[in-house]
Amino acid sequence: MEKQDQLLMKKQNKNLVLEIIKQQSPISRMEIAKVTGMSPTTITRIVNELHLQGFVRETELVTSGVGRKAVLLDVCGDVLYTIGVELDKSIIKIGIVNYIGEIVSCKSISRDPLEKYEETLGKVTNLMKELIGSHNVPNEKIIGVGVGLPGLIDYQRGIVTVSDQLKWKNVRLAADLQELTGFEVKIDNELKMKIVAENISGKARESKNAVLVGIGSGIGSAIILNGEIYRGESNNAGEIGHTVLDPTGNVCNCGKIGCLATYISEGAILSDSRKVKDITSIEEVFNAYRSGESWAINILERTSTYIALAISNILCLYNPEVIIISGSTIQNFPEIKEAIEKKCDLYIWEPIKEKVKIVYSDLRERGVVLGAALQAQNTLLELE
Amino acid sequence: MEKQDQLLMKKQNKNLVLEIIKQQSPISRMEIAKVTGMSPTTITRIVNELHLQGFVRETELVTSGVGRKAVLLDVCGDVLYTIGVELDKSIIKIGIVNYIGEIVSCKSISRDPLEKYEETLGKVTNLMKELIGSHNVPNEKIIGVGVGLPGLIDYQRGIVTVSDQLKWKNVRLAADLQELTGFEVKIDNELKMKIVAENISGKARESKNAVLVGIGSGIGSAIILNGEIYRGESNNAGEIGHTVLDPTGNVCNCGKIGCLATYISEGAILSDSRKVKDITSIEEVFNAYRSGESWAINILERTSTYIALAISNILCLYNPEVIIISGSTIQNFPEIKEAIEKKCDLYIWEPIKEKVKIVYSDLRERGVVLGAALQAQNTLLELE
């Protein structure tokens, strides 16, 4: 074998051992050798290296069957950290996440929807410093930052191509934030970040084929296929908001007619409600529904129909193992779940229905922050 | 390295060398060494083995720059064959395909839509024998059979779960055909077979992300993602025929309302036409359009609208590099292309439109036979 191949294999073995300890801890060296098929000597060498680098520690002794004491291994959550950032129209959220995926600290501040790009970046930088300081995380343990935001994101070049919600166009977000904070920065669409969290510790755990649908001020979806984010040719795969349901329907701000978003986004619900009543927020519509006002029932009834149709259509195209429904509409108006489920039952094609699990996200408002931090860890952590 | 790893690597190297000769022939041993980074000795050993096995032959001598003669290598198409079968409502097509993907012989016979399963199998077996006999292909050179057919196919167990067009349900097609013919048999949905042909020698050649849409008596799509067939959880990914466009629309035979198929399938066009005129075939509708009858223009105009919508929606979800439109409606009524293109221009979301190539299949009626044979080769060929 070439020397380079040997180095590569060494690295892969080390990654594998660490991954096994992370997944199955507490675990003994012996068991790792069994699972991997590597020799006890190799395992001992790798574990020693990982121990020196701070990734692994020894935990309690347990008595194995034959009376010998076995030392068990565990990973150290505090060996490194990444920071997750969620940017939205009117809120900025930042969380520090440790190596084993725990949010050790999280804070949010409001954002003015009309606020300038530089101003938002300043807020992010300050909040990040504050958070790091108050939690006493040493800067050298932070390997990078992940940012999730709505819009079309060129994740490879770190550029926000367009974000209607933030009113940004062609901004070099990753580079600018890197300059301000000193950390390496990875950016991506918020739902793509969120599904990473679902895939690692949420409802799509251990799922090879999963879809996450987001229903709120924007409408979109993200897809895990064969265990990886599926992006399509220009990172736009999953843009269900602009699938057309009715060629004679509502005009959409994208210039087409009958896009799904024009039936189920918060903006659509609000603007329809205003045809009836002088309403200022989506919560008022939900409250009107709760107090039995027929116009609100009509509008939200139609919303649930189109959400169920969207789910049905996604299932026909992707045939996933699990579909996770998330977003502020579902969070703030959980009553809609029952209507969605009833209609899903009617609208989903039988051969697909048999196989799929339809579930709701329970990562709630921390999903994007967690996913962004985990994705930063995935892409930035390089074992020496 | 373990002995098993060594054997595996030897096999991979051999496959790689053969693939390079197949792709880049005529090619010299020297060039193969350059491309692969393997030593000239290794290349010579592998080429000798491939030569003995009948895969590779030497072609003409060419004079290289410095006056030396170089021997070039080529693959032998006739080293092995697979057989591709297309089964449809009213036709059975069989083709013999050689190692380099050429159809060396192809024949079809009609099928009675009411014909029994056993009868169809008998016809397939006889036609296959006839074809093999008349082309003098030795049985031992045929490594297997691929069958493409409409419906939900359990390709792993070789079972047709349900095919509305053939009126089959839970038949063990692969095992039954294997028993009758003596060949190993692989089965799959016809569009999945067809996209294999597109990916190897058609409009999706060298494409990593491609979608094939089929518009005819059935409506469906097949997807290549990251260079492989994407199947979903139960091999049903791409079932666009049952995506719902209008929750107040036409009743579909699947029990839902407003499925895409109820607007654009041949059956839908026919049954709408019969509301106006006593029509017996889809060709009559096309001819009425050609002679300017307004009812036919109305119906086909609407068909083109919904086809464009379907294309737009597929693009939003998969964001592919290329979408290939195929099927009997497009083949027999090419006038519809112009209308589809005009509407695609209106209906496709800008950020997606920039990136995608919309093309028409030119494999025509041989696509399924070719793809089924190539897929049989892909899955059954094991280099010793």
| Distance of alpha carbon B377 from alpha carbon B61, whole angstroms | 31
Residue A226, pLDDT score: 81
pLDDT tens profile B78-102: 999 999 999 999 999 999 999 999 9
Is B344 at the interface with chain A, CB within 8 A? no
Record: contact A239-B350, CB cut-off 8 A? no
Residue B91 domain boundaries: 79-195+367-380
In a shared domain, residues B337 and B209: yes
**Which member of B221, B235, B351 has the closest CB to residue A236?**
B351
Is A312 at the interface with chain B, CB within 8 A? yes
Residue A254, pLDDT score: 87
pLDDT tens profile A211-226: 999 999 889 999 998 8
CATH number, position B191: 3.30.420.40
pLDDT tens profile A104-156: 999 999 999 999 999 999 999 999 999 999 988 999 999 999 999 999 999 99
ipTM of the complex: 0.82
**What DSSP line would sit under A273-322, residue for residue?**
HTTTS---SHHHHHHHHHTT-HHHHHHHHHHHHHHHHHHHHHHHHH--SE
**More confident call, B24 vs B92:** B92
Contact list, B263 vs chain A (CB under 8 Å): none
Record: contact B247-A318, CB cut-off 8 A? no
In a shared domain, residues A158 and A217: no
pLDDT band at A206 (very low <50, low <70, confident <90, very high): confident
Separation of first and last alpha carbons in chain A: 21
In a shared domain, residues B232 and B139: no
Residue B64, pLDDT score: 59
In a shared domain, residues A225 and A297: yes
Residue A384, pLDDT score: 75
In a shared domain, residues B214 and B353: yes
Is A243 at the interface with chain B, CB within 8 A? yes
Is B238 at the interface with chain A, CB within 8 A? yes
**Which member of B234, B246, B313 has the closest CB to residue A351?**
B234
Structure tokens at A231: 């992006």
Residue B65, pLDDT score: 61
Range among A33-47, B21-35, B323-337 with highest mean pLDDT value = B323-337
CA distances from A312 to A308, A309, A344, A351, B345 (A): 6, 5, 7, 12, 26
In a shared domain, residues A159 and A52: no
Cβ atoms of A362 and A251 closer than 8 Å: no
Residue B98, pLDDT score: 95
In a shared domain, residues B89 and B114: yes
**What DSSP line would sit under A258-269, residue for residue?**
SBTHHHHSHHHH
Residue A104, pLDDT score: 94
pLDDT tens profile B280-315: 999 999 999 999 999 999 999 999 999 999 999 999
Choose one of B46, B75, B104: the last residue of a domain: B75
Residue with tokens 């934030």: A177
In a shared domain, residues A121 and A241: no
Is B242 at the interface with chain A, CB within 8 A? yes
As for how many domains chain B has, the answer is 3
* Chain pair A-B, CB pairs under 8 angstroms: 136
Residue with tokens 């409606």: B329
**Which member of A239, A244, A352 has the closest CB to residue B309?**
A244
**Which member of B152, B239, B245 has the closest CB to residue A245?**
B245
**What DSSP line would sit under B185-230, residue for residue?**
EEEEEHHHHHHHHHHHHSTTTT-SSEEEEEESSSEEEEEEETTEE-
Average pLDDT over residues B44-59: 92
Contact list, A263 vs chain B (CB under 8 Å): none
Average pLDDT over residues B105-116: 95
Residue B24, pLDDT score: 87
Q: Is A52 exposed, middle or buried (0-12, 13-18, 19+ CB in 10 A)?
A: exposed
CATH number, position B56: 1.10.10.10
Record: contact B162-A242, CB cut-off 8 A? no
Residue B39, pLDDT score: 87
Give the pairing type, strands B322-326 and B210-215.
parallel
Record: contact B246-A245, CB cut-off 8 A? yes
Give the pairing type, strands B103-110 and A152-154.
unpaired
In a shared domain, residues B116 and B27: no
Decide if pLDDT at B235 tops 80.
yes
pLDDT tens profile A324-347: 999 999 999 999 999 999 999 998
Give the pairing type, strands A27-28 and A56-63.
unpaired
Q: Is B86 exposed, middle or buried (0-12, 13-18, 19+ CB in 10 A)?
A: buried
Cβ atoms of B262 and B252 closer than 8 Å: yes
Decide if pLDDT at A4 tops 90.
no
pLDDT band at A3 (very low <50, low <70, confident <90, very high): low
Residue A8, pLDDT score: 78
Is B356 at the interface with chain A, CB within 8 A? yes
In a shared domain, residues B243 and B353: yes
In a shared domain, residues A53 and A108: no
Contact list, A354 vs chain B (CB under 8 Å): 234
In a shared domain, residues B174 and B234: no
The Cβ of residue A303 has, within 10 Å, a number of other Cβ atoms equal to 24
Amino acid letter, A358:
I
Choose one of A75, A92, A119: the last residue of a domain: A75
| Distance of alpha carbon A95 from alpha carbon A369, whole angstroms | 6
Q: For all residues of chain B together, what is the average pLDDT? A: 91
